[in-house]
Amino acid sequence: MYLNQHEIHSQINSSFDNFVDFVQTLPDHRFTATPYGKWSAGQQLQHLIKSSRPVATAMGYPKILLHYFGTSRQPSRSYPELVEDYRQLLAHGGKSTITYLPGIVYGAQRPVLIEAFLKQKGRLLENLGRWSENELDKYRLPHPLLGKITMREMLYFTAYHTEHHLEQLKFHELQRHNWENQLQQLIF
């Protein structure tokens, strides 16, 4: 499934908004809790800011500067192909590099982090409008796990990456809820 510029715009917009909508429903203690040794919702939000910022920035560069990373001679992968390649890397132990690791996040940081995240979304979408379909397939950026990928693939990754972290948060909340129900049944 090849996504055109309009579809990429829509996917980034909805993935970022869905993440923010979910994070805003969490009480402060759930925003900062690190379930089962995993990142808290706040840390996941900070990680997503750190990972989307360079993409938004690079999209605003003059394209001549992007020649530094080379140009692609083959078409971009489809969205499902890119997602599957990323999932395989994660399944084989792929982890975030130190640059994108979050720090400690406090509940009071939530509004600032959400604002920063939505700012990156705005930058991505604004800069996307300055790219042609051909340019999205021509220019490449380095990804820490996927290697040099086209700008279209990087945008696919950005949308999927956000959805991936939202699914992790939802899963952790479901686990917590199930655990609390089991505990309540034991007590009563």
Q: Give just the sign of the alpha carbon dihedral 115, 99, 158, 152.
A: positive
Say how many Å lie between the first and final Cα of the chain, rounded.
51
Give the model confidence (pLDDT) of 104-163 as tens digits. 999 999 999 999 999 999 999 999 999 999 999 999 999 999 999 999 999 999 999 999
pLDDT in tens, 29-75: 889 988 778 899 999 999 999 999 999 999 999 999 999 999 999 99
Give the chain's mean pLDDT.
92
pLDDT tens by residue, 66-97: 999 999 999 999 999 999 999 999 999 999 99
Distances (CA, A) of 164 to 32, 45, 103, 106, 169: 19, 12, 20, 22, 9
